[in-house]
Amino acid sequence: MSHAPVLLVIAHGSRDPRHAATVHALVERVRSLRPGLRVETGFLDFNIPSVQGVLESLAAEGVRDVVALPLLLTRAFHAKADIPAVLRDAPRGLRIRQADVLGPSPLLLSALERRLFEAGLTPADKSSTGVVLASAGSTDPEAIAVIAAIAREWRHTGWCAVRPAFASASLPRTEDAVRSLRALGCETVAVAPYVLAPGFLPDRIARGADAAGADVLADVLGPAPEVARVLVERYEGALVRVPAALGA
């Protein structure tokens, strides 16, 4: 197992200390799922170590193979532009495969339900409960379309209704989605943040839920066991690809 490519989890980073703490908790859970696997964490911004710093350290140690896994739920700007740009600047001789982003995945829907049930709902409540699938938001149409598709798919698992909402860049906002579910006649309205870690936008989602009188606010996905399993799946999926010899 020591020869397996190193898994480098690439997180966005945040000024909010809860973000890095949550990322590290998730990475610890991944390590527990794959005890022989070396897992490192790098941040794009705000936190250390930087992605570049981790890559340089790995290269200096003589590591040759790395799987870079974007800790992102959708293929928006960071996955398409920022991360490939950082990886292109990697030290010579490192072979890097970029894994897919985490979403969409049935495991993430399971994690969302786990958080809702932890917040007080039960499976018996599903048919009378409308859920706001509250994401951070994006200016990327592909990312927005994916969130809408996840909401439609999740609705078919028995909820009264599921509405997407966005904390930035797109509409509707969380509070508007809560009100629309109330108007639809759902007995209970719950907000499920489709975000990985606490921070500025998740706080905005929580304020919107509160302002519109949502009955239930779930926690962020964080280090849910299902999320850790998605990371392992994405790592294993990347292993079947031919690596790019970056900087060679």
Which residues, at least 6 apart from 181, have a Cβ–Cβ distance to it below 8 Å?
Answer: 130, 131, 132, 160, 161, 163, 189
Find how far residue 166's CA is from the centre of its chain: 15
Q: What dihedral angle (degrees, nearest 10) is formed by the CA atoms of 99, 74, 106, 22?
A: 80
The predicted model scores a pTM of: 0.94
Asked if 157 contacts 90 with a C-beta cutoff of 8 angstroms, the reply is no
Nearest-10 crossing angle of helices 225-239, 17-33: 70
Question: What does the alpha-carbon distance between residue 179 and residue 83 come to, in Å, rounded to a whole number?
Answer: 37
Asked if 192 contacts 155 with a C-beta cutoff of 8 angstroms, the reply is no
Question: What does the alpha-carbon distance between residue 33 and residue 42 come to, in Å, rounded to a whole number?
Answer: 20
Which residues, at least 6 apart from 117, have a Cβ–Cβ distance to it below 8 Å?
Answer: 123
Which H or E run contains 42?
strand 39-43
Pick from 14, 25, 16, 221: which is nearest to 133 by CA?
221
**Tens place of pLDDT per residue across the chain (248 aa):** 358 999 999 999 999 999 999 999 999 999 999 999 999 999 999 999 999 999 999 999 999 999 999 999 998 766 778 899 999 999 999 999 999 999 999 999 999 999 999 999 999 999 999 999 999 998 889 999 999 999 999 999 999 999 999 999 999 999 999 999 999 999 999 999 999 999 999 999 999 999 999 999 999 999 999 999 999 999 999 999 776 654 43
